[in-house]
Structure 1
Amino acid sequence: MGNKQFTPDLVALRAAAGRLPVDDVIRLFGNYHARNAVIYLHDHPTATLDELADALAAAAASTDETIATPSDRERIRIRLYHVILPQLEELGIVSFDSEANAVTETTIPAAIREYLRIDDCSA
């Protein structure tokens, strides 16, 4: 997944925002876990909250060359549930069912995929 030392190209991000509020997109994609969530959801568009938390905890541990702990996973899960997934839903990127704890649909705009270089990673 993404690199923690990600330096956003604000001009590219502004273009990627398209019809979305630029400040919201910049704030959201400035977050390592949010970027990795979108990258993961590109390949798994109907992931459960637990599945997504596991993937993000593993990605963070891999980047840090550590082992993910249950508390790391739970911290990420809480952030996904209360912050990241609601923001992605507000931007129209995902549909999140908070009762089922699952993303039920993912629609990543082409400009966001290009900005995050998702299509380059998927090949």
Structure 2
Amino acid sequence: MSKCPRRHETEATEGDTTKQDIAFKLLSDHLRHQILLSLNTHEEPTLSELATALQESERIPETDLERIKIQLYHNHLPKLEDAELIDYDSSQRTITRRQLPAPIKKTLKISSNCDESPADV
């Protein structure tokens, strides 16, 4: 008897696959990837807190903090929310990470354990 799962046990539905494909495409953007990683350690941050955390972790000059906030608000957060990876409460300006699909969690876990930056490779 085979120990491998049967094909129908591992196949995602078409809707699941599409959502995962979209999520992985979104994660290909470095800043969006960092947003989800940051939400592992900053539970329900405000837009300003998230921007500051990203600015510090990415070593972005403090003078660019306002630019980061604008990018988050107009670009990155709406895309992550549309993909159902986060919830953004615009009245409170708080961000909450949703339950992530297992492949996305695994990708984030692997990347968070990576100590080398592309310049180190």
TM over 0.5: yes
Name which of structure 1's ranges 106-115 and 90-99 shifts more when overlaid on structure 2.
Answer: 106-115
- Structure 2 unaligned runs (5+)? 1-15, 114-121
Q: What residue is the counterpart of 1:8 in the other structure? A: none
**How well do the aligned residues superpose, as a CA RMSD in angstroms?**
2.4
Verify the 8 A CA contact 1:18 1:111 in the aligned structure 2. no
Percent sequence identity over aligned pairs:
32
Q: How do 1:1-123 and structure 2 match up within 5 A? A: 18-20=17-19, 22=21, 24-61=22-59, 68-70=61-63, 72-117=64-109, 121=113
State the TM-score, normalized to the length of structure 2.
0.68
Verify the 8 A CA contact 1:42 1:118 in the aligned structure 2. no
Q: Distance in 2 between matches of 1:27 and 1:83?
A: 14
Amino acid aligned to 1:48: T
* Number of residue pairs matched by the alignment: 98
State the TM-score, normalized to the length of structure 1.
0.67
Verify the 8 A CA contact 1:89 1:96 in the aligned structure 2. yes
Q: Residues 56, 112 of structure 1: CA spacing in aligned structure 2 closer, same or farther, 3 A cutoff?
A: same
Alpha-carbon shift at residue 107 of structure 1 (Å)? 2.3
Alpha-carbon shift at residue 69 of structure 1 (Å)? 1.7
Q: Residues 37, 102 of structure 1: CA spacing in aligned structure 2 closer, same or farther, 3 A cutoff?
A: same
Q: Secondary structure at the match of 1:96?
A: strand
Amino acid aligned to 1:85: L
